Amino acid sequence: MKGRERVMRVLRGEKPDRMPCFGAGSTVTYEQMEAVRAFWPEGHLHAEAMAKQALAAHTVLGFDAVRVPFCLTTEAEALGARITPGDTDEMRPLEFPPLYTIDDEPTFPIDFLDRGAIPEILKAVRILKQEAGEEAAIIGGIVAPLTVVLYLLYTKPMLKVVYRTPEKLLPFLDVAERAGTLLARALLDAGADIIACEDITATQFLAPARYAEHVLGFQKKQFAALSAPKVLQICGNLNPILEFIAQAKPHVLCVEPKTDIALARKVCGRDTLLMGGVEAMTTLFTGTVEDVRRESEESIARGIQILGPGCAVAPNTPTENLRALVEVARMH
């Protein structure tokens, strides 16, 4: 099978020829940039370079899906946060001071989809639709509401609010959910097959009860508004919040090995596919090919159904380690 058919069959609950392999987050590396002669910061800002870098996940690594964008600042920038262009070796960083203080009233711009990098991201999806065709599924990436809020307020102010007055987050979460949902719909209209929602905050900033009380409702609302297949990727150990994640009803949950994969299968049920299973920042980044193969096999034995990095890939990750994922997937 071609990559797109393989992925979409699994998402429909049908049997593919073998296990799919791809990343829910960014899989761009410096070696891939060299291979396709497309570099940062152009890959963050210009559709043609962005599409080349995304397509390398298939042409260089052999993954069954490709994804744009690569950083987590898209929604925040379109909401007004100041983002620097970045350099050849980095994601696009935010400028200080933050856009809002916690006592501000956030607003939603009527021209949201025309702001920041969004027009180029949508153009890149259309290019990928033409160039990838049936060879690879196309993933449109959005950022989970709580992570968008982090980029609007910054870490220290957000930590204070989380522990003292978490109710003050609600208007920010509302704007952030609207931003991600609108972007997701535009990505699907441009030709994306799948929406991947990344959250780097849920396991780091909130106790499980507060995640359930203040964040879960916005994640549920966002996913309910999108009919396409949805991947939820939350960094860290998900065991304490699995029961809440299940309520958001992602089609696919991306996990790292620190999450109990068997428990995730039990709590989330058979309707949620499990993907990932290999540590991005240790095994893939600093490990050997044999380390990657061993961890891949162990995760598959525990219940992973789509093999890939458990989180976004570090740009220095060796190509041979990423290709090792595909080698293992081909045997299952």
Please give the full DSSP string across 237-277, using - where no structure is assigned.
Answer: --GGGHHHHHHH--SEEEE-TTS-HHHHHHHH-TTSEEEEE
Q: What average pLDDT does this structure show over 144-152?
A: 92
CA dihedral 240, 246, 252, 255 (to 10 degrees): 0
- pTM here? 0.96
pLDDT, position 260? 96
Question: What is the band of 90 on the pLDDT scale with cuts at 50, 70, 90?
Answer: low
81-95, 121-135, 150-164, 194-208, range with the lowest pLDDT: 81-95
Does the pLDDT value for residue 249 go beyond 70?
A: yes
pLDDT, position 88? 64
Per residue in 155-168, pLDDT (tens digit) is 777 777 777 888 88
- Joined tokens for residue 165: 């007055």
User: Which residue's entry shows tokens 């992602």?
Assistant: 250
Does the pLDDT value for residue 256 go beyond 80?
A: yes
* Structural domains in the chain, sorted by start: 3-329 (3.20.20.210)
CA 183/CA 144 separation, integer angstroms: 12
Contacts of 294 (CB under 8 A, 6+ apart): none
- Joined tokens for residue 297: 């096999």
Percentage with pLDDT > 70 across the chain? 98
Question: What is the band of 98 on the pLDDT scale with cuts at 50, 70, 90?
Answer: confident
Max intra-chain CA distance, the chain: 54
Per the CB < 8 A criterion, the answer to whether 276 and 308 are in contact is: yes
CA 176/CA 184 separation, integer angstroms: 12
User: Measuring CA to CA, which residue among 22, 130, 129, 28 is closest to residue 69?
Assistant: 28
Contacts of 270 (CB under 8 A, 6+ apart): none
CA 312/CA 91 separation, integer angstroms: 12
The CB-side HSE value for 219 (13 A sphere, CA atoms) comes to 29
Does the pLDDT value for residue 91 go beyond 90?
A: no
Mean pLDDT (the chain, rounded): 94
Question: What is the band of 89 on the pLDDT scale with cuts at 50, 70, 90?
Answer: low
User: Measuring CA to CA, which residue among 306, 171, 289 is closest to residue 231?
Assistant: 306
Bond from prior residue into 166 cis (ω within 30 degrees of 0):
no
Does the pLDDT value for residue 40 go beyond 70?
A: yes
CA 210/CA 179 separation, integer angstroms: 22
pLDDT, position 155? 73
Does the pLDDT value for residue 293 go beyond 90?
A: yes
Higher pLDDT, 85 or 53: 53
Per the CB < 8 A criterion, the answer to whether 217 and 146 are in contact is: no
CA 45 vs CA 15, 83, 84, 249: distances in Å: 38, 11, 11, 32
Per residue in 57-66, pLDDT (tens digit) is 999 999 999 9
Per residue in 119-143, pLDDT (tens digit) is 999 999 999 999 999 999 999 999 9
Does the pLDDT value for residue 278 go beyond 70?
A: yes
CA 210/CA 287 separation, integer angstroms: 36
